[in-house]
């Protein structure tokens, strides 16, 4: 049975159509819309590629055999799916969207004001972790995997909350800017700690929390409890490693920028002597 799963692509039309619409709207925005309203002289091919890779990551998460594994067999596969939907695809989508296109989308003042509020670092980090915690409560989680409509809403909410959470780190828009390097480090540390709160109970529970996976067919001799613990570790380690890596990168960039600012300019007399 496990072997056949890897050839079972999830052919739900809603996800496929939704992704095609998003990609189509993006291409319309960076192409005909840009030219019609003179939003920019050109678009960077790298940004188009980055956005498209983000869409492909969501495609793999929702339509590949991973979706079958996560919906019908393994909680741990569901956590891999959530890693792709919240930690991999969203920053690619943001980095791939030119600032002039975001500016056009947020042109109505109320929409821009709302974007400014929800992308405030404190609001973003709290909102994301509350949403993630709520959807991993056993009662709501079991409803989401048994009701297709709620499952769709769950994924849309996850991606939306993740876009908000990533915005302070990878924004391309000066009006809604990235955090400074020191604040990025604080933000990333906060995200890493918050995930412990979310996944601690799931990791250290002495019994399975999700009845759906208790009743699911067993694969690879994994018990429901072992599967649950592996899933929690995947999400926590995946997020923790990513956030700590980005924290180190932010520290390095902060150190380098501070070093460049404090580096003394060569004295004019020394330059004169070097020329001679």
pLDDT for residue 83 is more than 70: yes
CA distance 69 to 219: 10
> Using one digit for the tens of pLDDT, what is the confidence trace for 94-129?
999 999 999 999 988 899 999 999 999 999 999 999
pLDDT for residue 235 is more than 90: no
Dihedral angle of Cα 22, 13, 210, 199, to the nearest 10 degrees = -20
Q: Which range is least confidently modeled, 9-18, 142-151, 219-228, 237-246?
A: 9-18
> Using one digit for the tens of pLDDT, what is the confidence trace for 17-73?
999 999 999 999 999 999 999 999 999 999 999 999 999 999 999 999 998 899 889
Residue 201's pLDDT is: 83
Interval 130-145 mean pLDDT? 89
Residue with tokens 């056009």, as numbered in its chain = 104
Q: Which range is least confidently modeled, 87-96, 180-189, 201-210?
A: 201-210
> Using one digit for the tens of pLDDT, what is the confidence trace for 167-190?
999 999 999 999 999 999 999 999
Residue 2's pLDDT is: 52
> Using one digit for the tens of pLDDT, what is the confidence trace for 261-275?
776 655 555 545 555
Which band of pLDDT confidence, cut at 50, 70 and 90, is reported for residue 238? confident
Cα dihedral sign, 29-32-35-37: negative
- Which pair of tokens denotes residue 204? 């250290």
User: For residue 137, is it left (φ>0), alpha (ψ between -120 and 50) or beta?
Assistant: beta
SS3 30: helix
Interval 84-100 mean pLDDT? 97
Residue 254's pLDDT is: 94
Residue 9's pLDDT is: 72
Residue 68's pLDDT is: 87
**Phi, psi dihedrals of residue 177, rounded to the nearest 5°:** -75, 165
Residue 265's pLDDT is: 56
Residue 195's pLDDT is: 81
Q: Which range is least confidently modeled, 137-146, 164-173, 259-268?
A: 259-268
Confidence (pTM) = 0.90
Residue with tokens 């973003």, as numbered in its chain = 124
Cα dihedral sign, 129-15-219-242: negative
- Average per-residue pLDDT in the chain? 89
């Amino acid at each position: 049975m496990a072997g056949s799963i890897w050839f079972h692509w999830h052919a739900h039309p809603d996800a496929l159509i939704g992704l095609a619409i998003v990609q189509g709207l993006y291409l319309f925005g960076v192409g005909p819309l840009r030219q019609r309203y003179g939003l920019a002289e050109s678009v960077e091919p790298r940004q188009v590629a980055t956005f498209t890779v983000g869409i492909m990551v969501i495609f793999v998460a929702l339509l590949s055999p991973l979706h079958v594994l996560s919906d019908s067999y393994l909680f741990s596969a569901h956590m891999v799916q959530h890693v792709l939907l919240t930690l991999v695809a969203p920053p690619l989508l943001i980095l791939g969207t030119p600032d002039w296109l975001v500016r056009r989308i947020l042109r109505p003042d109320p929409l821009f004001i709302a974007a400014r509020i929800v992308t405030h670092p404190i609001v973003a980090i709290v909102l994301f972790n509350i949403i993630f915690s709520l959807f991993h409560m056993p009662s709501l989680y079991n409803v989401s995997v048994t009701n297709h409509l709620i499952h769709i809403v769950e994924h849309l909410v996850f991606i939306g909350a993740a876009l908000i959470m990533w915005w302070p780190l990878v924004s391309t828009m000066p009006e809604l800017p990235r955090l400074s390097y020191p604040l990025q480090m604080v933000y990333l540390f906060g995200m890493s700690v918050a995930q412990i709160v979310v996944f601690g109970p799931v990791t250290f529970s002495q019994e399975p929390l999700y009845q759906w996976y208790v009743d699911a067919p067993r694969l690879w001799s994994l018990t429901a409890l072992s599967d649950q613990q592996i899933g929690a570790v995947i999400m926590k380690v995946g997020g923790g490693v990513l956030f700590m890596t980005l924290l180190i990168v932010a520290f390095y960039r902060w150190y380098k920028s501070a070093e460049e600012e404090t580096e003394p300019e060569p004295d004019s007399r020394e330059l004169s002597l070097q020329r001679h």
